[in-house]
Amino acid sequence: MPLPTLARVYPGTPRHLAALARRLRAGELVAVPTETVYGLAANALDARACRKIFTAKGRPSRDPLIVHLLSASELEQVAESNAAARRLAEKFWPGPLTLVLPKKKIVPDVVTAGRPSVAVRVPSHRLFRRLLKLAGVPLAAPSANAFGYVSPTTAEHVRLGLGRKIRHILDGGAARIGLESTIVDLRDPARPRLLRPGAITRRELELALRKKIATARSASRDPESARGELAPGMLARHYSPRTPVAVHKNFPRGTAKLKNEAWVTIARPAGRAAKNIFWLDARGDLRGAARRLFALLRELDAGGFKKIHVELARGGGLAEAINDRLRRAAAR
Ligand code: TXA
Ligand code: MG
């Protein structure tokens, strides 16, 4: 049921942070800024509070949530850790990396969608960290968008999507990274697997663990992944605007003549660009492109185009994460 009033957007003053922390402890939902995308947070140890996340997002209850901690030293409280996890935590936390590990009993089943594993990350966003500290409990949070839609990278995106479903949004500015965290399955530390590419790249993880990291999809012997349920956020169709999206290795020549279709390149094209040509970063810097991607998809979705064409990023590293989101946006 929609709420009668629109969610309020709060600045991160000490007074507002204290009030929002109290609300979280009391079992309410608060949308929070993170360095990756905005999240919809609840006390991770309160099953009733976490159930509200699924209702507000229209998220299926089989899609588990990520538990956010203030520090890696709290990891053992919610998960069964191992040497590989400690190594990655030391190197990449606080930051955009989520680890999947066997869960401890204290984590309610609703958070993990009934799985014996839990996804955990220590975020780096300054205001989210202050809120975590004041709340004094781990916070479960998926991205703060309606299920299946593009993740929000500003407080305004959250308000537009969930403004009538939630009451409180903490404004921490535009997300610095703009793509959801990298997720690594470390349940078996001898066989780490990449469940979702992100700003911490496969190469960085491999260097840290001195090991090849397979993509979960190829590990079909795992009974969970064979049923397509290992990382439900990996649903082929996800992060999708309503407007159909098509991805291209290279744009065919002359296509921009179709005025009712939008064309998105990674870098600014040479010469004068037609009105229906857009780019993610003037110089083609992939970090800039990642930061802009979801906001541009939202703008174009509202722009009345019949189709959005996007050029795939080249190279490894962040390109893998950008192209992953583009392919999901394009999947029907
Ligand atoms: O950057 C991020 O990760 C953001 C911010 C808010 O931290 N969160 C986020 O959550 O993107 P979201 O909406 O992607 O949902 C969490 C995803 C699930 O869809 C699933 O793919 C994965 O995390 N996940 C959670 N628990 C899992 C588990 N036990 N096993 C495998 N995957 C899990
Ligand atoms: Mg999400």
| pTM for the predicted model, two decimal places | 0.94
Please tell me the number of the ligand nearest to residue 148's CA: 2
The number of the ligand nearest the C-alpha atom of 34 reads 1
Peptide bond into 94 cis (omega under 30): yes
**Is pLDDT at 240 greater than 90 in this prediction?**
no
Q: What is the pLDDT of residue 199?
A: 98
How far is it, in rounded angstroms, from Cα 46 to Cα 57?
18
Ligand nearest to the CA of 240: 2
Mean pLDDT of 28-53: 98
Instruction: Please give the average per-residue pLDDT across 56-84, as a whole number.
Output: 97
- 310-322 per-position pLDDT tens digit: 999 999 899 999 9
184 lines ligand 1 (CB under 6 A): no
pLDDT in tens, 198-239: 999 999 999 999 999 999 863 333 434 434 444 555 555 567
Q: Return the exposure string of 276-313: e unless at least 16 CB atoms fall within 10 Å of the residue's CB, then b.
A: bbbbbbeeeebebbbbbbbbbbbebbeeebeebbbbeb
Question: In ligand 1, which atom is closest to the CA atom of 234?
Answer: 21
Provide the 8-state DSSP code for 105.
T
Span 9-26, average pLDDT: 98
pLDDT at 236: 58
pLDDT of residue 3: 84
Contact of 129 with 139, CB cutoff 8 Å:
no
Distance (angstroms) between ligand 1 centre and the Cα of 138 equals: 15
Neighbour count for residue 273 (Cβ, 10 Å): 14
Q: What is the number of the ligand 1 atom nearest to the C-alpha of 35?
A: 1
CA 162 to each of CA 29, 34, 47, 57, 299: distance values in angstroms, whole numbers, following the listed order: 11, 17, 21, 7, 17
| Residue to substitute in 59, 66, 117 for testing ligand 1 pocket (most ligand atoms within 8 angstroms of CB) | 66
281-300 pLDDT tens trace: 999 999 999 999 999 999 99
Split at pLDDT 50, 70, 90, the class of 85 is very high
Q: Which two tokens stand for residue 35?
A: 């360095």
Report CA torsion sign: 67, 70, 76, 78.
Answer: negative
Distance CA(149)–CA(240), nearest Å, equals 5
**Average of per-residue pLDDT values in the chain:** 93
Run of H or E residues at 77 = helix 75-78
**Residues with Cβ within 8 Å of residue 210, at least 6 apart in sequence:** none
> Could you report the per-residue pLDDT of 249-283, keeping only the tens digit for each?
988 777 667 889 999 999 999 888 889 999 999 99
pLDDT of residue 235: 54
Q: Which of 98, 125, 147, 240 to mutate to test the pocket of ligand 1 (most atoms within 8 A of CB)?
A: 98
**Closest ligand 1 atom to Cα of 196:** 21
The β-bridge partners of 215 are: 194
Would you state the pLDDT for residue 135?
98
In angstroms, rounded to a whole number, what is the distance separating the alpha carbons of residues 163 and 268? 34
Position 104 scores a pLDDT of 98
What are the distances in angstroms from CA 130 to CA 101, 134, 173, 175, 177? 25, 6, 15, 16, 19
**Rounded Cα distance, 84 and 116, in Å:** 19
How would DSSP label each residue in 16-58?
Answer: HHHHHHHHHHTT--EEE--SSS-EEEEETT-HHHHHHHHHHHT
pLDDT of residue 290: 98
Ligand 2 centre to CA of 148 (Å) is 7
Q: What percent of the chain has pLDDT over 90?
A: 85
Residue with tokens 């009105």: 275
| pLDDT at res. 216 | 85
Q: CB of 177 closer than 6 A to ligand 1?
A: no
